[in-house]
């Protein structure tokens, strides 16, 4: 029974995607598509080898009002594509007003501007669909998630703007990068600092490639279309999983961190201590919130409940994913009575040898450790 429950939990988002894509069929010609569903909009893409970007582009369009029940045509024949309502990843033209969304032509160098951030990665067909329909797609999916009880409520307009940016950064951008052959890491010049161009949260592109007909199996357009349908389901499900995570977990955590940062000066006059009254993952949020508030670099320590009645003090890193702290904790490597004696604070449990985290038997003790660390000279 426990495994059945786990499988049911895992399938909640997948069931939403399956409902959205259930009636979709994939065809080789516009005539076939219209015969299958005369009143449905037709989305065209290329035939032959399929890739993650156009599979995702076609899939997530199901979460728009215009393309809620489309049929798909896979062809490179211009006369076939001309009959399609929208065309993605083929046609050598980017004309959004005509819903022609290709990125392969040399003159196209478009990148994503979400209104919150300007990205550098060249867009693929997935990114182009997301550029023009992303907010509607997220809002529609959020309504489905709320209706199924997976999230409490749909996001506000301001939250939707934030989610639109985060989902691009954490998921869609890597699809764009891989499809366009953009290196994940690069340096401006030889010997220069290596910069991460985009994050890769999943091996989705590789798993899409595994759906192609194998070299030693009989091949046909029908089998290619069947493989594309599977890829569309796979890509759309992973996209929706990424959105669900942001809506159900990432966004609520952000509000908790925002509240803690706003109350920082009430904890310690400089605002250097972020007191989390309820623990939530904070590293994805703190630096962005500081930037938005014009207080970059202010926070030095985050204090939170350890879940066992005690408190933890953790250093804020200098940069995202950095091991270097803005200000390390003093008393490195000390524990228990020795640490309490050295710090003058009762109930101390430990300070990590690197000084990045420490603990106390009580929250008040952890706060006292953080306050004393703020007042002391940097121990580097």
Each residue's pLDDT tens digit, 30-47:
999 999 999 999 999 999
pLDDT of 121 strictly over 80 = yes
Which residues have a Cβ under 8 Å from the Cβ of 161 and sit 6 or more positions away? 114, 115, 116, 135
At 10 the pLDDT is 60
- The torsion of the CA quartet 312, 315, 319, 324, rounded to 10 degrees, works out to -120
User: Quick check: pTM over 0.85?
Assistant: yes
Tokens of 210: 């595994």
- Whole-number Å distance between alpha carbons of 260 and 273: 9
Helix, strand, coil percentages, rounded to 5, for the chain: 45, 15, 40
pLDDT of 199 strictly over 90 = no
Kindly report, residue by residue over 285-329, the tens digit of the pLDDT: 999 999 999 999 999 999 999 999 999 999 999 987 788 999 999
- Whole-number Å distance between alpha carbons of 261 and 269: 12
Share of the chain above pLDDT 70, in %: 96
Which residues have a Cβ under 8 Å from the Cβ of 255 and sit 6 or more positions away? none
Which residues have a Cβ under 8 Å from the Cβ of 332 and sit 6 or more positions away? 351, 352, 353, 354, 355, 379
- Whole-number Å distance between alpha carbons of 304 and 297: 19
> Are β-strands 100-101 and 86-88 bridged in parallel, bridged antiparallel, or unpaired?
parallel
At 1 the pLDDT is 45
Closest CA to 366 of 290, 268, 292: 268
């Amino acid at each position: 029974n426990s495994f059945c429950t786990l499988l049911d939990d895992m399938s909640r988002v997948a069931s939403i995607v399956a409902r959205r894509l259930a009636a979709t069929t994939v065809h080789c010609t516009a005539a076939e598509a219209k015969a299958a569903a005369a009143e449905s909009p037709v989305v065209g893409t290329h035939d032959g080898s399929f890739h993650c970007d156009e599979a995702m582009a076609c899939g997530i369009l199901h979460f728009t009002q215009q393309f809620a029940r489309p049929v798909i045509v896979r062809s490179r024949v211009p006369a076939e594509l001309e009959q399609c309502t929208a065309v993605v990843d083929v046609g050598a033209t980017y004309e959004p007003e005509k819903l022609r969304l290709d990125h392969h032509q040399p003159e196209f160098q478009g990148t994503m501007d979400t209104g919150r951030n300007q990205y550098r990665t060249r867009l693929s067909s997935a990114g182009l669909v997301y550029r023009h329909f992303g907010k509607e797609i997220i809002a529609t999916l959020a309504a489905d998630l709320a209706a199924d009880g997976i999230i409490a409520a749909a996001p506000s307009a301001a939250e939707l703007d934030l989610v639109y940016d985060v989902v691009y950064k954490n998921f869609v951008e890597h699809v764009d990068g891989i499809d366009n052959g953009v290196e994940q890491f690069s340096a401006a010049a030889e010997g220069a600092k290596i910069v991460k161009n985009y994050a890769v949260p999943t091996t989705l592109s590789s798993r899409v490639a595994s759906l192609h007909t194998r070299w030693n199996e009989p091949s046909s357009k029908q089998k290619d279309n069947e493989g594309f349908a599977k890829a569309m389901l796979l890509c759309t499900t992973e996209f929706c999983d990424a959105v669900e995570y942001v809506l159900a977990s990432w966004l609520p955590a952000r509000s908790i961190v925002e509240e803690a940062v706003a109350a920082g000066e009430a904890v310690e006059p400089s605002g250097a201590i972020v007191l989390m009254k309820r623990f939530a993952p904070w590293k994805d949020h703190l630096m962005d919130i500081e930037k938005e508030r014009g207080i970059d670099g202010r926070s030095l320590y985050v204090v939170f409940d350890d879940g066992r009645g005690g408190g933890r003090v953790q250093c804020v890193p200098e940069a995202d994913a950095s091991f270097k702290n803005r200000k390390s904790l003093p008393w490195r490597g000390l524990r228990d009575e020795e640490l309490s004696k050295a710090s003058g604070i009762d109930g101390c449990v430990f300070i990590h040898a690197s000084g990045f985290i420490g603990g106390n038997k009580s929250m008040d003790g952890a706060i006292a450790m953080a306050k004393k660390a703020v007042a002391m000279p940097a121990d580097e």
